């Protein structure tokens, strides 16, 4: 049963405690990465047989396989994918950054160019955790950024096939290439390249502990989006809230993973008890009841505070991945929310809207990192390059200033490089 904690009556470490994975996979992942770097495709074929029981002759998904998958997917679901993609595209189009140029002083031009990364790699989990929504959420921003090539890796089933819903989403999103490989070995392939899989500049997408550790280890050779932890939801709800709705929304994240975190923070002790009872009613009815039960019992909590102001302070301290603000006039409180990955406003906005359909991205910072990081966006797939141009006359006006600055740092060669051109004129 979910715990009910009264803020101020229990230790802060109980209020703000986080459940962290305890699996140590560092050495295993390191060996996998080194093997893929050394042996390329041969290592990937072996790992596919070892981990996914799939004997493959080639890694890349063919156009015929994509057509076959589309034929298996219900036409109405393809239409839903297209509607979701349109919403995601509309939201992310607003994130595009423009290059700029400043030339308001004679002889001086400075500016910044916004350039897409050449190749982006998307990891999509497979097997029982098949998420076509992730394909849309991670591919569309890369395409909007203008990435020339976006490639996807995802583990095959034992029959060597990819989940048809994932392939349908990839088709709708405009994926360039798809490869049948998962786990840490897929991250290594994207980071270093193999005979079949191109080396990319940026790797994005969620995965298990092995995938997360691999992303951590290859960072620096490539860029990554984030190290994602277990899924989280925090619901701010007042006494007017419907306990059934609140419980259902808590369970929408609890069913993800036994380590997922579902938290309610409220100013109503009555609502706390009602939600606790409602969770006990709803959990046994879920298809993933065992997972949800473990998540709620071990990582779930209901925190009761004196007023909404303190409730919001607690939420900001936790800095959750998903935050639901279940109150009247939620926009009145939005400016007070400082730390959250994605905020869902009002009593009719379940977090599932964001997972699939509304348009804002569902790849979000977890484990309190919303204090300093952001959801996946078009920004993740671009880099900025700046440039400077001075004429001889423009340089002459500031050369002594530059030289003086350089000398204060003890860098006399810097100073000389700034004044040598004016000395030659003299």
> 235: exposed, middle or buried (C-beta count within 10 Å: 0-12, 13-18, 19+)?
buried
The SS3 call for residue 350 is coil
Enter the tokens of residue 316: 């900001």
Q: How far is CA 341 from the centre of its chain?
A: 10
Among 344, 340, 381, smallest CA distance to 364 is for 340
The SS3 call for residue 342 is strand
| Diameter of the chain measured on Cα atoms | 89
List the catalytic residue out of 322, 324, 351, 362.
Answer: 322
Asked if residues 303 and 265 have their Cβ atoms less than 8 Å apart, the reply is: yes
Tell me, yes or no, if 322 is annotated catalytic.
yes
Asked if residues 233 and 224 have their Cβ atoms less than 8 Å apart, the reply is: no
Per the listing, tokens 């302070």 go with: 313
From the DSSP assignment, how many helices (H) and strands (E) are in the chain? 17, 14
Tell me, yes or no, if 321 is annotated catalytic.
yes
- Between strands 100-105 and 108-116, the pairing is antiparallel
Count CB-CB contacts under 10 A for residue 322. 27
Cα–Cα separations (whole angstroms), residue 332 to 86, 308, 326, 335, 345: 29, 12, 12, 7, 10
Q: Which residues contact 264 (CB under 8 A, 6 or more apart)?
A: 234, 235, 237, 246, 250, 272, 275, 301, 302, 303
Among 227, 228, 263, smallest CA distance to 351 is for 263
List the catalytic residue out of 213, 255, 278, 321.
Answer: 321
User: Which residues make beta-bridge pairs with 3?
Assistant: 301
Asked if residues 210 and 29 have their Cβ atoms less than 8 Å apart, the reply is: yes
Catalytic residues: 321-322
């Amino acid at each position: 049963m979910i715990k009910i904690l009264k803020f101020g009556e229990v230790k802060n470490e109980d209020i703000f405690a986080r459940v962290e994975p305890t699996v140590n996979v560092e050495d295993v992942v390191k060996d996998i990465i080194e093997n893929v770097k050394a042996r390329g495709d041969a290592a990937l074929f072996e790992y596919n047989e070892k981990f996914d029981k799939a004997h493959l002759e080639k890694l890349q998904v063919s156009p015929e396989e994509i057509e076959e998958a589309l034929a298996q997917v219900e036409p109405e679901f393809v239409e839903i994918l297209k509607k979701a993609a349109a919403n995601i595209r509309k939201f992310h189009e607003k994130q595009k950054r423009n290059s700029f140029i400043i030339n308001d002083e004679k002889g001086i031009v400075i500016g910044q160019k916004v350039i897409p990364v050449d190749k982006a790699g998307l990891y999509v989990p497979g097997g029982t955790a098949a998420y076509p929504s992730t394909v849309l959420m991670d591919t569309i921003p890369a395409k909007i950024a203008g990435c020339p090539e976006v490639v996807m890796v995802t583990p095959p089933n034992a029959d060597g096939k990819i989940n048809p819903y994932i392939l349908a989403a990839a088709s709708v999103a405009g994926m360039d290439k798809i490869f049948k490989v998962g786990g840490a070995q897929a991250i290594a392939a994207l980071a270093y390249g193999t005979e079949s899989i191109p080396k990319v500049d940026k790797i994005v997408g969620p995965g298990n502990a092995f995938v997360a550790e691999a992303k951590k280890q290859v960072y620096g050779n490539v860029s990554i989006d984030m190290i994602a932890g277990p899924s989280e939801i925090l619901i701010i709800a007042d006494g007017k809230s419907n306990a059934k709705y609140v419980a259902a929304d808590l369970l929408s994240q609890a069913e993800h993973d036994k380590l997922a975190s579902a938290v309610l923070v409220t100013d109503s002790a009555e609502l706390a008890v009602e939600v606790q009872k409602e969770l006990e009613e709803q959990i046994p009815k879920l298809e993933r009841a065992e997972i949800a039960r473990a998540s709620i019992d071990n990582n779930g909590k209901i925190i009761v505070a004196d007023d909404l102001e303190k409730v919001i302070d607690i939420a900001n301290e936790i800095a959750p991945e998903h935050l639901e603000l279940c109150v009247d006039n939620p926009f009145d409180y939005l400016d007070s929310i400082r730390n959250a990955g994605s905020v869902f406003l009002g009593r009719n906005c379940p977090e599932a809207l964001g997972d699939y359909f509304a348009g804002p991205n569902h790849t979000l910072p977890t484990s309190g990192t919303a204090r300093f990081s952001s959801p996946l966006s078009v920004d993740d797939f671009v880099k900025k390059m700046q440039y400077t141009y001075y004429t001889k006359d423009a340089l002459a006006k500031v050369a002594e200033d530059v030289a003086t600055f350089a000398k204060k740092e003890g860098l006399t060669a810097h100073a000389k490089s700034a004044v040598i051109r004016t000395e030659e004129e003299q």
